[in-house]
Structure 1
Amino acid sequence: MVERSSRLPSQRQVIELLEGEFARAGYDIEDVVIDTSARPPRIAVVADGDDGLDLDTIAALSRAASELLDDLDTSPYVLEVTSPGVDRPLTTPTHFRRARGRRVEITLTDGATVSGRLGDCGDETVALVVREGSRADLAVHEIALSTIVNAVVQVEFSPPNPRELELAGLAGEET
């Protein structure tokens, strides 16, 4: 009888083992959380892609991750592959690019808070479609990423304003 190790892989080991397979499928590993206090222990892999993750993609990534992790000599664990969730702060140019067309709330280094629809995103700036003036006219403001302290996607329950989408560079596209 072979005795199995009671150890789990480290976060780094999981990332190194899975990142190639996830990248081939078009997804990035955003984070790996290993919870040894749960019973059984839990390995959560947070992944994201340009088009987000749907349930079929999560299932396929879970199967691939499970096959790769099963080759390790570890104790039993529960594997979860998930998306970052709407409450994840936007911290990299890639996060902002993937949130293009969504409403966001941004806190700037001067303490000001601005909300609007995210438009074009570069490596150093983002465009934000905002309402301004007493008539709530729409305007596009360029914001340097270096001036953003915090940014989060806002949940919307109504369809986006077509003019906002047009100014965000998404006319005729679904967000």
Structure 2
Amino acid sequence: MPMPTEERVSQLVAELVERRGFDLEGVAIAAAGTEHAKVKVIVDSDGPADLDAVADLSSDISAALDEAGDFGETPYLLEVTTPGIDRPLTALRHWKRAQGRKVKIALRPGAESPEGKQKFEARVGASTDTDVALVLGGKHKPHRVTVSLADIESAVVQVEFNPPGAAELELAGGVAPGRPRPGAREESEEEVAAVSSTEGIVE
């Protein structure tokens, strides 16, 4: 079954994604059974997930893939989605969009830790090109520190089932504009708004 590479699909869709006001966060291609392919395009933006905008982008991408003809006669299922709640933070825009969220952080070897250990959880505050403010101590003893982004090896947003304390969230500077507040109800809403699927089949 002929399939284009993820890099090739990224090249085909990048301009369409940008034109619709999204950032392209990744492309994944996998065989779905013996005669079908699944193409997943992950996008994100500063504002809340807009299902209509995602659906319009999905139509644009489907038309572009059909026109390019890289899948030949192989049927494919296209899914355009935003990142899940437990997203890794790998770019500055990810940190800005994660403000107010709880993250699990791993520091690089040799980096000085505000917690005295290389792995810890914190709430994301405001970030600059070089640093990020982190709120430690949870609901009971929240306090803010600043950590160099260069010292962070990995950071993954955590799913939260209870809202944070008011003082903790205030120290973080609140939640990024257009993003849901941490907590069970908001988590489920973001999941619902995130997915739009369409099927493109090249005859």
Asked whether the two chains share a fold, i.e. TM above 0.5, the reply is yes
Q: Which amino acid counterpart does residue 16 of structure 1 have in structure 2?
A: Q
Aligned counterpart, 1:152: 156
Select which of 93, 117, 121 maps to 1:115.
121
Change in Cα spacing, 1:109 to 1:12, as seen in structure 2 (3 Å) is closer
Task: Describe how 1:11-50 pairs up with structure 2 within 5 A.
Answer: 11-36=6-31, 38=33, 39-50=35-46
Task: Describe how 1:25-104 pairs up with structure 2 within 5 A.
Answer: 25-36=20-31, 38=33, 39-73=35-69, 74=72, 75-104=74-103
Change in Cα spacing, 1:94 to 1:42, as seen in structure 2 (3 Å) is same
Aligned counterpart, 2:186: none
Q: Distance in 1 between matches of 2:23 and 2:118?
A: 32
| Structure 1 contact 52–83 (Cα < 8 Å) conserved | no
- How far the C-alpha of 1:90 sits from its partner, in A, is 1.3
Question: How many equivalent pairs are there?
Answer: 168
Q: Does 1:161 align with 2:165?
A: yes
Moved more, 63-72 or 106-115: 106-115
| Structure 1 contact 41–77 (Cα < 8 Å) conserved | yes
Q: Which amino acid counterpart does residue 155 of structure 1 have in structure 2?
A: V
Q: What are the ranges of 5 or more consecutive residues in structure 2 without an aligned counterpart?
A: 110-116, 182-203
Change in Cα spacing, 1:56 to 1:171, as seen in structure 2 (3 Å) is closer
**1:63 aligned counterpart, secondary structure:** helix
- How far the C-alpha of 1:160 sits from its partner, in A, is 2.6
Structure 1 consecutive aligned stretches of length 4 or more whose deviation exceeds 4 Å: 171-174
TM-score by length of 2: 0.73
Change in Cα spacing, 1:165 to 1:113, as seen in structure 2 (3 Å) is same
Q: RMSD in angstroms over aligned alpha carbons?
A: 2.4
Q: Distance in 2 between matches of 1:146 and 1:23?
A: 27
Change in Cα spacing, 1:147 to 1:163, as seen in structure 2 (3 Å) is same
TM-score by length of 1: 0.83
| Structure 1 contact 162–171 (Cα < 8 Å) conserved | no
Aligned counterpart, 2:184: none
Q: What are the ranges of 5 or more consecutive residues in structure 1 without an aligned counterpart?
A: 1-5
Percent sequence identity over matched residues?
A: 39
